[in-house]
Amino acid sequence: MKKLLLLLIIFDSCLWSKELSSRVDYISSAPFFIMAAVIFATILLSIAYKNRRLDELVLRRTKELEAFNQRLQDEIEKAVEKNRTQEKILMQQAKMAEIGSMVESIAHQWRQPLNILGLSMTKLSLGCSFGRIEDMEKTIEIVEQQIQYMSQTIDDFRNFFKQDRVQSKVNINHIVGEVETLLGPLLERKKITVIRDIDPSITVLVYPNELKQVLINLVNNAREAIEQSKNTKREIRISCEHNSRFCTISIEDTGGGVPLYIIDKIFDPYFTTKFESQGTGIGLYMAKMIVEKHFLGKLSVHNTVMGACFEIRLNRAENERRKNVPQKQIDATNTKNEHPEST
């Protein structure tokens, strides 16, 4: 542009000089106009050439940026997939970590029925020997009841490991009762009392087995805290409060509470205060992931006068909104929220 202005100034000066020179005729000035036109055309061609080079440079840079963005997107998708795989592995590990206490509870539940079955078989044998038909019928009825009880225990254990595909409305009091059924015998043997303070009418939209897994984990955590505590009052209190937006389940124990120097770390993966043979440190982490990612809620802990209180705050309003949303769309939304830089 500077060159163009300079040439225009020179051109204007030449015209001014031409007007002053009255003796120079039109024929002698013709070559000057031709030269000026050639110079002007050359400048225009130069500008067009530079513009074309700039367009090519911009296009090349744009393609490079698009390729970089695509590589970045691919890396983000790989990282998201890796995180999902890792979470699935942790979820499985968390479930496997609960098997020990579950099997111990089932073994305790079966001990008495097995004793009854053994005594009933002896009684049946004696009844056959003495021909007491009425006693035999009563004994067979008792045997059938005990077999039904043991079968129900197996169904409860099996249902715990089923993967929920869709959310459904569950009664909080009922699902806490199922957890108490699974862990009750073990808690009784440890002389721990479970106190429920739950309105029987409270329902919430969740993945039932995942909520049950969270509750089992927290109740087991409370049981272990009480076992390690010297407190003579051995209680686990489960209560529930609700409104139109939230449903909050509280699990409070009398185990002395969580030390303040680790209370901010207990939800970290693989963090545990137990020996390696006694704990994996993933139970509370997975409970937090289930509550916050799957239920869009919050899992927190605070100390009370007697012990620790874990609170599960379930987002009722958001879960109701997502009731009819396809699972793929929900997963995509979660991925977008976890990785906003990829959008």
For position 226, which CATH number holds? 3.30.565.10
The count of domains in the chain is 1
Cα distances (Å, whole numbers) of residue 206 to 164, 175, 312, 320:
10, 11, 12, 9
Whether 270 is covered by a domain: the verdict is yes
Of residues 135 and 48, the one with the higher pLDDT is 48
Rg (CA), the chain: 39
Distance of CA 186 to the CA centre of its chain: 30
pLDDT band at 339 (very low <50, low <70, confident <90, very high): very low
Contact indicator for 202, 242 with CB cutoff of 8 Å: yes
What Cα–Cα distance (Å) separates residue 98 from each residue in 102, 157, 254? Answer: 6, 11, 22
When pLDDT is cut at 50, 70 and 90, the band that residue 94 belongs to is low
CB environment 152-162: b (16+ within 10 A), e (fewer):
ebeebbeebee
Q: Which pLDDT does position 3 carry in this prediction?
A: 53
pLDDT at 157 over 70: no
Q: Is 116 contained in some domain?
A: no
Q: Is residue 127 one of the residues assigned to a domain?
A: no
pLDDT value at residue 48: 77
Identify whether 228 is part of a domain. yes
Structure tokens at 186: 């073990």
Indicate whether 181 belongs to any domain.
yes
287 Rama sector, left if φ>0, alpha if ψ -120 to 50, beta otherwise: alpha
Tell me the CA distances in angstroms from 130 to 120, 125, 143, one per residue in order. Answer: 15, 9, 20
pLDDT digits (tens, 9 = 90+) for 22-44: 444 444 555 666 776 767 777 77
Amino acid at 78: K
Please report whether residue 22 resides in a domain.
no
The residue type at 336 = K
What integer is the mean pLDDT of 77-83?
A: 84
| 29 within a domain of the structure (yes/no) | no
Q: Is residue 38 part of a domain?
A: no
Predicted local distance difference test score (pLDDT) of residue 11: 53
Q: How many CB atoms lie within 10 A of CB 238?
A: 22
Q: pLDDT tens digits for 239-291? A: 999 988 899 999 999 999 999 989 988 888 767 665 444 455 677 888 888 89
The pLDDT assigned to 24 comes to 46
Q: Residue 77's pLDDT is what?
A: 86
Residue 250 φ then ψ, to 5°: -115, 135
Nearest 5°: phi and psi at 310? -95, 135
- DSSP code string of 102-159: HHHHHHHHHHHHHHHHHHHHHHHHHHHHHT-HHHHHHHHHHHHHHHHHHHHHHHHHHH
| DSSP label of 237 | E
The string of pLDDT tens digits covering residues 178-233 is 888 878 878 888 899 999 999 999 999 998 888 988 998 899 889 989 998 888 89
Q: What is the mean pLDDT of residues 74-100?
A: 74
Mean pLDDT of 318-336: 53
Chain centroid to CA 195:
29
What is the arithmetic mean of pLDDT over 163-173? Answer: 82
Greater pLDDT, 19 or 83: 83
Q: Is 139 exposed, middle or buried (0-12, 13-18, 19+ CB in 10 A)?
A: buried
Task: Using the predicted structure, report yes or no on whether residue 162 has a pLDDT greater than 70.
Answer: no
pLDDT band at 299 (very low <50, low <70, confident <90, very high): very high
Lowest mean pLDDT among 54-58, 143-147, 326-330: 326-330
Look-up: residue for tokens 């990282």?
79
What average pLDDT score do residues 130-158 get?
73
pLDDT score for 200? 92
Q: Is 309 left (phi over 0), alpha (psi -120 to 50) or beta?
A: beta
Q: What percent of the chain has pLDDT over 70?
A: 67
- Secondary structure letter of residue 24 according to DSSP: S
Paired tokens of 253: 């124990």
Q: Could you list the residue range(s) of the whole structural domain that residue 254 is in?
A: 167-343
Separation between Cα atoms, residue 119 and residue 243, nearest integer Å:
52
pLDDT at 295: 87
